[in-house]
Amino acid sequence: MTTTATLNEAVEQVKEQVIAWRRYLHQHPELSFHEEKTAQFIYDTLLSFGNMEVSRPTKTSVMARLIGSRAGRVIAMRADIDALPITEENTFPFASQNPGVMHACGHDGHTAMLLGAAKILSGMKERIKGEVRFLFQHAEEIYPGGAEEMVQAGVMEGVDLVIGSHLWAPLEYGKVGIVPGPMMAAPDTFWITVIGKGGHAALPHQTVDSIAIGAQVVTNLQHIVSRNTDPLDNLVISVTQFIAGTTHNVIPGSVKMWGTVRTFDPKLRAEVPKLMERVVKGITEAHGASYEFKYEYGYRPVINDADVTRLMEEVVVEALGPEWVAHIRPNMGGEDFSAFQQKAPGCFFYIGAGNKDKGIVHPHHHPRFTIDEEALEVGVKMFVNAARKVVMAGHS
């Protein structure tokens, strides 16, 4: 019989190895769709465990299948492996050795935790009734993302449920964040060009001032949030780039804007581009300008399945203790884990990785981002104990 205590003891034995894997990966980050060496490292490491079928569903992703001795349910576990185009400012010995590339979101830790779970579970093949499928996904950070490619490659065929985690700096180490239902938003992108008529800044009446018109567009887009949608709906519209002009005495002929929209509700998501273009069209026409508008749908929202989320909360209580459960609010970030949830019910959860006492306070995507490595042990415990509940015969 495989107990929680047995698995937690096994996690203790691999803890230092998991930290070492995380540090190696942190030193050698690779950008989305370019994770060749990372994927090869994962592939070779998984092969060294034995008892698993290891494959490469896409050029820079890896899948390992641990098939038990008897038929049963199939649980998939996912970790993302890509890094970000950020120059690291940390000075610890294992800081990035690749200039301009950094694991600034915790994916190195995600990969190490899942490798730790695979190492432990690979030695328990005879106790497994069903299958544990380990998915090491490339390109989470860049749309269209690696999850959709992996799904199209067939990695979710036959899967009964899927889980994934994110090391979360805003959550203090010692907690596991559980969010039932909508958890992370759909992250869409828009581009707007306001086309006016340039000229001398001292003679504005001879121009169609694209900056003045563009500023009105930015301001009035917020009326969609405050006046055109239900206050109880979750909606964010953010203009994040505003590019115009070359010098102090020239009114530019055009302004380019770039930004993001975040939603949970599919109907609202479909309606927002229409409302946005109506605003842009009205303002530009009123001032004798024209416009170009482009809108691109990104990842689907992450919606946690009620039953799988309940199961993962039980895992926290059984493996760690009830005091480790943190019921937290959804956020408007995006995650392509949602692609896997289109094929099987799933749960995405947070693992607290911040620690103010250690100075681990910087947010994700910051050049000084890091994690409390004690959180890695928590993640491994979550994965192996989820497997215990789902596919281990006679678990207790």
Rounded Cα gap, residues 339 and 299, in angstroms: 8
Q: Which residues of 306-321 are buried (b: 16+ CB within 10 A; e: fewer)?
A: eebbebbbebbebbbe
DSSP string, 331-382: BS---TTHHHHTTS-EEEEEEEEEBGGGTB-PPTT-TT----THHHHHHHHH
DSSP helix/strand/coil, 321:
coil
Interatomic CA distance for residues 346 and 78, integer angstroms:
11
Residue 33's region, left for phi above 0, alpha for psi from -120 to 50, else beta, is left
- From the candidates 30, 82, 305, 377, give the one annotated as an active-site residue: 82
CA distances from 226 to 219, 221, 222, 234 (A): 11, 9, 6, 11
Query: Of 349, 303, 340, which is closest to residue 135 (Cα–Cα)?
Result: 340
Q: What is the distance between the alpha carbons of residues 166 and 85, in angstroms, rounded to a whole number? A: 19
The tokens describing 62, both together, are 């890896």
Is 316 within 8 Å of 326 (Cβ atoms)?
no
Catalytic residue among 131, 140, 336, 372: 140
Nearest of 373, 381, 366 to residue 25 by alpha carbon:
373
Token pair for 239:
């203009």
Any catalytic annotation for residue 318? no
CA–CA separation, 32 vs 52, rounded Å? 26
Give catalytic status of residue 305 as yes or no: no
CA 14 to CA 113: how far, in whole Å?
Answer: 10
Query: What is the set of active-site residues?
Result: 82, 140
